[in-house]
Amino acid sequence: MSGRPHPAFIPPKRPPWRGIRHGCRGAWLGAVLAVFLYRLAATAALAAPVTVAPVSLADFDALLARTDHCVVVAMASWCGPCKTELPHLAKLDRELREKGLVLYGLSVDYGGVQAMQPLVNKLGVEFPVYWAGEAAVAHYGLNPIPMLVFLKAGRIVDRILGAHDEAELRTILERFLENGAP
């Protein structure tokens, strides 16, 4: 037998890193790891939408009284203007939270928490959203919706009716943060 391989013998293919110096292989693995970590961090940075929680009017009143100043976003899943305004509010909440903006969503849906939850999920709403149902409409004077209710130390200082575009909402919310009134 000579030192030649049998004609049916197929030599194995070289691993892709064979022949590459260790420094290059490390750089290649480092690049793959960096991409993986970047995607992981980007995914973690997106906060999960909140869970719509049922709340009694007494408990919601207590929450508002504990908050120095806040804005209640009165809405319902069946309300077209609410659906138009909510993405702008979700975006402004993320941008103005560090400046002290506190938003609370208040769903007045007849169908309970499960009526508003799909919309909150779809829009990625991160501020707390509560469901108080029809009782909240009379208790807080939430007719018509959408309505923004501005509170200081648990007391209503102003109301703004109807849907607004992002620029209008930004002006209204920034003015409230600066002056305490929209």
Between 49 and 137, the higher pLDDT residue: 137
53-88 burial, b if ≥16 CB within 10 A, otherwise e? eebeeeebeebbeebebbbbbbbbbebeebbebbeb
Confidence of residue 32 (pLDDT cuts 50, 70, 90): very low
Between 181 and 150, the higher pLDDT residue: 150
What angle do the packed helices 80-96 and 113-123 form, to 10 degrees? 60
Distance in angstroms (rounded) separating the CA atoms of residues 145 and 106? 11
pLDDT at 25 over 80: no
Tell me what pLDDT residue 23 has: 53
